[in-house]
């Protein structure tokens, strides 16, 4: 002992193809982190900034889950237990509004189930009845099923191809929950933008409020790249500074999808490629 090693990795696990979970030693961040907040990881000196939700924490460690989408996240995936990230900065972003609402519905799509988990746990601890929907393209891509079943009063799994659970989309799961007689007081959805758009539309039809987290659109998490710009109500917001959570019905989904379709893919890959 004697030498303090910060940001050391332990319990690295592969959760699915290209999806990894790590615990990272970060006592100061762990002491302050609240559900809904994120950190910026810089894996190597001068590396890119990768914003990641704090999925869980102990006294000294935080759990992060990431998907390999480019050069920097590919590098991160090569780190093994005992290695350390160069920097981890946070906690950042506004915390989720955790309260007693009654019956809450938590909807996660793809890798979006990871940022849903801390919100789900906190809502359960507040005494809410928690219903969860996890959606994935196929059974192989489902992650965190054990954690979700542990903290949910009811869990619905949907897959696009029917390889596990209900065949269909998370919106089909939402309709089923209501047709089964549940009365939802408030919902949260995190996943691909197109999924959050339709989850919002479905929640409006079914008559309950829904919060979405726009952390999937963040690029560097600093408030400067503009990658997470979005119109909410009549205002331009930045997900990493003003969010990441917003009321789903106030988000200008079509404008966001159009902008992401045009720029996002290039933006993300060029940012990640730029770093040699
Ligand atoms: Fe770059 Fe928000 S992620 S400004």
Residue at 188 is within a domain: no
pLDDT at 261: 83
Residue at 139 is within a domain: no
Residue at 36 is within a domain: yes
Say yes or no: CB of residue 225 within 6 Å of ligand 1: yes
Residue at 65 is within a domain: yes
Token reading at 78: 């090569």
Give, for ligand 1, the residue of 219, 246, 268 to mutate: max count of ligand atoms closer than 8 Å to Cβ: 219
Reported as a single tens digit per residue, the pLDDT across 146-168 is 999 999 999 999 999 999 999 99
Ligand 1 centre distance from Cα of residue 208 (Å) = 29
Q: Is the per-residue pLDDT at 244 higher than 90?
A: yes
Residue at 66 is within a domain: yes
Range of the domain at 47: 9-92
Token reading at 9: 């990795």
Residue 228 bridge partners (DSSP): none
Reported as a single tens digit per residue, the pLDDT across 70-109 is 899 999 999 999 999 999 999 999 999 999 999 999 999 9
Reported as a single tens digit per residue, the pLDDT across 174-199 is 999 999 999 999 999 999 999 999 99
Count of C-beta atoms within a 10 Å radius of residue 226: 12
Q: Is the per-residue pLDDT at 200 higher than 60?
A: yes
Residue at 263 is within a domain: no
Reported as a single tens digit per residue, the pLDDT across 204-238 is 999 999 999 998 899 989 888 999 999 999 999 99
Number of domains in the chain: 1
Say yes or no: CB of residue 223 within 6 Å of ligand 1: yes
Domain CATH for 39: 2.40.30.10
pLDDT at 276: 37
Closest CA to 15 of 69, 65, 55: 65
Q: Quick one: which atom of ligand 1 is closest to the CA of 218?
A: 3
Phi and psi angles of residue 173, each rounded to the nearest 5 degrees, phi first = -60, -40
pLDDT at 3: 55
pLDDT at 264: 47
pLDDT at 1: 42
Residue at 62 is within a domain: yes
Ligand 1 centre distance from Cα of residue 268 (Å) = 11
CA distance 173 to 106: 11
Residue at 13 is within a domain: yes
264 contact partners, CB below 8 Å, separation of at least 6: 217, 227
Closest CA to 219 of 183, 253, 263, 184: 263
Q: What is the ipTM of this complex?
A: 0.98
């Amino acid at each position: 002992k004697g030498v303090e090693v910060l940001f050391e990795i332990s319990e690295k696990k592969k959760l699915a193809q290209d999806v990894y979970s790590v615990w990272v030693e970060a006592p100061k961040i762990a002491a302050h982190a609240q559900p809904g907040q994120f950190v910026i990881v810089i894996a190597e000196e001068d590396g890119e900034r990768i914003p990641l939700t704090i999925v869980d924490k102990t006294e000294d460690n935080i759990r992060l889950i990431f998907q390999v989408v480019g050069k920097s996240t590919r590098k991160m995936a090569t780190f093994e237990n005992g290695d350390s990230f160069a920097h981890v900065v946070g906690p950042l972003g506004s915390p989720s509004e955790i309260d007693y609402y009654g019956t809450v519905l938590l909807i996660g799509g793809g890798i979006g189930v990871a940022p849903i988990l801390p919100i789900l746990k906190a809502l359960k601890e507040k005494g809410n009845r928690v219903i969860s929907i996890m959606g994935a393209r196929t059974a192989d891509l489902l992650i965190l099923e054990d954690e979700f079943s542990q903290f949910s009063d009811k869990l619905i799994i949907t897959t696009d191809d029917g390889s596990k659970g209900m065949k269909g989309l998370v919106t089909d799961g939402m309709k089923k929950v209501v047709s089964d007689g549940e009365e939802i007081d408030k919902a949260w959805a995190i996943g691909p933008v197109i999924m959050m758009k339709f989850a919002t539309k479905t929640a409006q039809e079914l008559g309950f409020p829904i919060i979405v987290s726009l952390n999937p659109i963040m690029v560097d998490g600093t408030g400067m790249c503009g990658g997470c710009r979005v119109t909410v109500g009549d205002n331009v917001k930045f997900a990493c500074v003003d969010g990441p959570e917003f009321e789903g019905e106030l988000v200008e989904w079509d404008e966001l999808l159009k902008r992401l379709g045009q720029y996002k893919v290039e933006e993300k890959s060029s940012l990640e490629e730029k770093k040699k």
